[in-house]
A and B are shown apart, each in its own frame.
Chain A
């Protein structure tokens, strides 16, 4: 399998070093086109005016927030089932990114909600499930930080990630139920006709740009994590070094 070629961290880091400039370039270009299109080309909404442009940040961020969890769930499978050495590195690197994208979508959503709905926050089903997703990201990050041994932490987090992946649809379903039961009036829907191409094209370009941004940051974070583990291993060796040396040196004078 091709993915096993990158089980060697050195080879992986070399590959990252080679692909990263291309990814960064593609990401910058996509953001340039996407931002230009969404801020200057896309028409104002007849109802929402300029605030509709928040959507070009908000929607891709929300998509990425979910995709990031999928990446983590796949990586967790890689950790537990195939024991791929880079899988837990990938999951660990993805968690803060997912939390950041979720946070961006929450913030932009509430900024968008203030002029549109007159409030920063409603306990709408969709908002609530994104908030729960955010809490789960933070919980996973906290779990990683509390365990010293990266391998053990990776396995524990993988179990939790997979349980979360099973649970997220249930949470989504139950939150939908909960909200429609209590306040059906505030369920927000994209009413009206399907999105006009003038808006859809910038949105898709922005989604591509966000995806490229995610992969760029993910690869960088994975490389950093590989380096961090090397530093940790070197430190452990250095800390054990003098003592090991003295332990072997000590019996010699006695002889």
Chain B
């Protein structure tokens, strides 16, 4: 990793973990969502086991959406974003590094928390493994797609709600293939690998589309 990318990555990570960062709040929110589900659908363990992967995926999606406005907002507020944009580095790479750091700070904790929360939902070991792997592969896509929404709404005062509305339709494919891969691992009408490899493909696509679109939006918002 080149020097400036490494230092940008470390800076983002440090900011996310220290006071004012929201990395672990996302996990707390994830826990809250998963806790609320049984109150809504009832404590039937068989039902929970059946919808468990979907609950975990939706919880992860919501937790990711909630943290996304931190991606560029704080940097814009203190002027760091303008400095980063004017530094002459390719904005696409800057966005990619910021997304990577953001994912390590907020997405990875969700992935780590997922197996624990899966126990609440009465998932079998195979299902727990499948959900965790699909989340590991899929949550970067959520962050990268969300970066587009975050950079579009960065100039707005209360952009969080609009961000969620803009990002959710774009995140639907990730959700579909994440959940169907996890389902396929448990009850197999289709092999696990088919939806899983499409999920990987979606993550790779969003790793290209996300930074480019997000960089374009950031450039337009600054001038």
User: By the criterion CB–CB under 8 Å, are B166 and A175 in contact?
Assistant: no
User: By the criterion CB–CB under 8 Å, are A143 and B169 in contact?
Assistant: no
Quick check: which of A100-108, A113-121, A156-164, A225-233 contacts chain B, the rest being far away? Answer: A156-164
User: By the criterion CB–CB under 8 Å, are A163 and B148 in contact?
Assistant: yes
Quick check: which of B36-44, B90-98, B121-129, B173-181 contacts chain A, the rest being far away? Answer: B173-181
A23: Cβ under 8 A from any B Cβ: no
Q: Which residues of A contact B176 (CB under 8 A)?
A: 174-175, 177-178
Q: A152 CA to B154 CA in the complex, in Å? A: 12
Distance from A155 Cβ to chain B, minimum over Cβ atoms (Å): 4
Q: Which residues of A contact B195 (CB under 8 A)?
A: 177
B84: Cβ under 8 A from any A Cβ: no
Measured CB to CB, the nearest residue on chain A to B167 is A139
User: By the criterion CB–CB under 8 Å, are A80 and B216 in contact?
Assistant: yes
Q: Which residues of A contact B156 (CB under 8 A)?
A: 146-147
Query: How many interface residues does B have (CB within 8 Å)?
Result: 29
A166: Cβ under 8 A from any B Cβ: yes
Distance from B200 Cβ to chain A, minimum over Cβ atoms (Å): 14
A167: Cβ under 8 A from any B Cβ: yes
A208: Cβ under 8 A from any B Cβ: no
A142: Cβ under 8 A from any B Cβ: yes
User: By the criterion CB–CB under 8 Å, are A167 and B170 in contact?
Assistant: yes
Distance from A21 Cβ to chain B, minimum over Cβ atoms (Å): 38
A138-150 Cβ-contact flags toward B at 8 Å (1 or 0): 1100110011000
Query: How many interface residues does A have (CB within 8 Å)?
Result: 28
Q: A164 CA to B168 CA in the complex, in Å? A: 11
Distance from A77 Cβ to chain B, minimum over Cβ atoms (Å): 12
Distance from A170 Cβ to chain B, minimum over Cβ atoms (Å): 5
User: By the criterion CB–CB under 8 Å, are B162 and A143 in contact?
Assistant: yes
Q: Which of B153-188 contact A (CB under 8 A)?
A: 153, 155-156, 159, 162, 165-166, 168-170, 172-173, 176-177, 180
Please pick, from B170, B180, B217, the residue contacting A156 in the complex, using a CB distance under 8 A: B217
User: By the criterion CB–CB under 8 Å, are B162 and A146 in contact?
Assistant: yes
Distance from A123 Cβ to chain B, minimum over Cβ atoms (Å): 12
A236: Cβ under 8 A from any B Cβ: no
A254: Cβ under 8 A from any B Cβ: no
Distance from A72 Cβ to chain B, minimum over Cβ atoms (Å): 15
Distance from A136 Cβ to chain B, minimum over Cβ atoms (Å): 5
Q: Which residues of A contact B159 (CB under 8 A)?
A: 146
User: By the criterion CB–CB under 8 Å, are A139 and B189 in contact?
Assistant: no
Distance from B192 Cβ to chain A, minimum over Cβ atoms (Å): 13
Q: Which residues of B contact A178 (CB under 8 A)?
A: 176, 180
Q: Which residues of B contact A26 (CB under 8 A)?
A: none
User: By the criterion CB–CB under 8 Å, are B172 and A132 in contact?
Assistant: yes
User: By the criterion CB–CB under 8 Å, are A181 and B190 in contact?
Assistant: yes
B152: Cβ under 8 A from any A Cβ: yes
Known: A152-B221, A177-B176. A160 touches B155 (CB 8 A): no
Q: A170 CA to B206 CA in the complex, in Å? A: 11
Known: A152-B221, A156-B217. A170 touches B168 (CB 8 A): no
Q: A61 CA to B145 CA in the complex, in Å? A: 30
Q: Which residues of A contact B170 (CB under 8 A)?
A: 163-164, 167, 171
- Beyond the given pairs A138-B165, A166-B209, 18 more chain A to chain B contacts, judged by CB atoms under 8 angstroms and listed by A's residue number, are A132-B169, A139-B166, A143-B152, A146-B153, A147-B155, A147-B156, A156-B220, A156-B221, A159-B152, A160-B166, A162-B213, A163-B209, A164-B170, A167-B173, A171-B169, A171-B170, A175-B176, A177-B195
Name 25 interchain pairs, CB-CB below 8 A, sorted by A: A132-B169, A135-B169, A138-B165, A139-B162, A139-B165, A139-B169, A142-B162, A152-B155, A152-B220, A156-B217, A156-B220, A159-B152, A159-B220, A160-B152, A160-B166, A163-B209, A164-B169, A166-B209, A167-B169, A170-B173, A170-B202, A173-B173, A174-B172, A174-B173, A174-B176
A-B interface, 9 closest residue pairs, ranked by CB to CB distance from nearest: A174-B173, A155-B220, A178-B176, A174-B176, A139-B166, A159-B217, A139-B165, A163-B213, A156-B152
